[in-house]
Amino acid sequence: MSKQFFIVVILWIVLTAAGEALVIALTPFLLPSRAALEGQIVDDAFRTLMMLAVPVLAFVVAMLIYSVLRFRRRGEPTQDGPAMRSHGPFIAGWMLVSTALTIVMIVHPGITGMNALRAQAGKDVDLVVQVEGSRWNWKITYPQHKVISRTELVLPVDGHIRFEVSSTDVLHAFWIPSFRMKIDAVPGMMTTIYATPSKTGSFSSDHKIRLQCAEACGILHDKMMVPVRVLEQKEFETWLSQQVKVD
């Protein structure tokens, strides 16, 4: 093993170990608060992708650091550098590893994560909530209870909820950051997404618990938000009973 190769490999291992430690230590602080069961699947996928990305980045940085230090030139160059030579085995190895990593990511967390979300979505639905976006507000309907809310989205904790999402004008997107669930609101069609709130909470104490449009839909796009409130089942029923019924 040449000395150059040995130094780069050692540097790579050290940077990878430091990077993985940083991912493990910082991920809980980087991610927004989580308030739905489905969020665990998404967060696990995020962490796995970060951990797979670290060795790739570490290799590039290790090569860069070594090359900058080892092959640095002091003062102005007086002539052209040596011609570039291609390194066939190195390129083949790089392609092979990149392709293998991509396939791993497609299988896990790609397919395994989608299957886990699909299995979660397939559970019995406790509540249907229709969410209709229009520039620049959300209309929230509880069709089973004939209730409409335009000022907040109220949900029961531990209830498996199907959101039926639509739009009256342009593309919007249904997004509750702390649920990690997002889907387009498309004019002329209904899209569905499922979530199971896992803890009580509200926008007033955590601004990630909000329904936010996530599609640039016009000048007031960022204001297209309603606060979310997750209540105990009993409190949710009380809230429903206090609302004006519509036909």
Residue 193 C-beta: closest distance to Cu ion, Å: 16
Helix (H) or strand (E) holding 68: helix 37-70
Candidates 5-13, 43-51, 216-224, 230-238; binding stretch for Cu ion (CB under 5 A) = 216-224
Query: Using the rule CB under 5 A, is 210 a contact of Cu ion?
Result: no
With a CB cutoff of 8 Å and minimum separation 6, the contacts of 88 are none
CA 109 to chain CA centroid, Å, is: 13
Name the residue nearer to Cu ion (CB basis): 14 or 220.
220
Query: Using the rule CB under 5 A, is 45 a contact of Cu ion?
Result: no
Residue 174 C-beta: closest distance to Cu ion, Å: 9
Query: Distance (Å, rounded) from C-alpha 204 to C-alpha 114?
Result: 32
Candidates 50-58, 83-91, 146-154, 207-215; binding stretch for Cu ion (CB under 5 A) = 207-215
Query: Distance (Å, rounded) from C-alpha 10 to C-alpha 7?
Result: 5
Helix (H) or strand (E) holding 213: strand 210-213
Query: Using the rule CB under 5 A, is 224 a contact of Cu ion?
Result: yes
Candidates 32-40, 139-147, 191-199, 222-230; binding stretch for Cu ion (CB under 5 A) = 222-230
On whether the CB atoms of residues 210 and 151 are closer than 8 A, the answer is no
Query: Distance (Å, rounded) from C-alpha 242 to C-alpha 142?
Result: 13
Name the residue nearer to Cu ion (CB basis): 172 or 208.
172
Restricted to residues 149-178, the positions that interact with Cu ion (CB under 5 A) are 172
Query: Using the rule CB under 5 A, is 217 a contact of Cu ion?
Result: yes
Residue 216 C-beta: closest distance to Cu ion, Å: 8
Candidates 56-64, 137-145, 188-196, 211-219; binding stretch for Cu ion (CB under 5 A) = 211-219
- Max CA distance (Å), the chain: 84
Residue 224 C-beta: closest distance to Cu ion, Å: 4
On whether the CB atoms of residues 199 and 225 are closer than 8 A, the answer is no
Name the residue nearer to Cu ion (CB basis): 222 or 237.
222
On whether the CB atoms of residues 161 and 194 are closer than 8 A, the answer is yes
Q: What share of the chain is helix, strand, coil (3-state, %, to 5)?
A: 45, 25, 30
Query: Using the rule CB under 5 A, is 209 a contact of Cu ion?
Result: no
Contacts to Cu ion by CB under 5 A: 172, 213, 217, 224
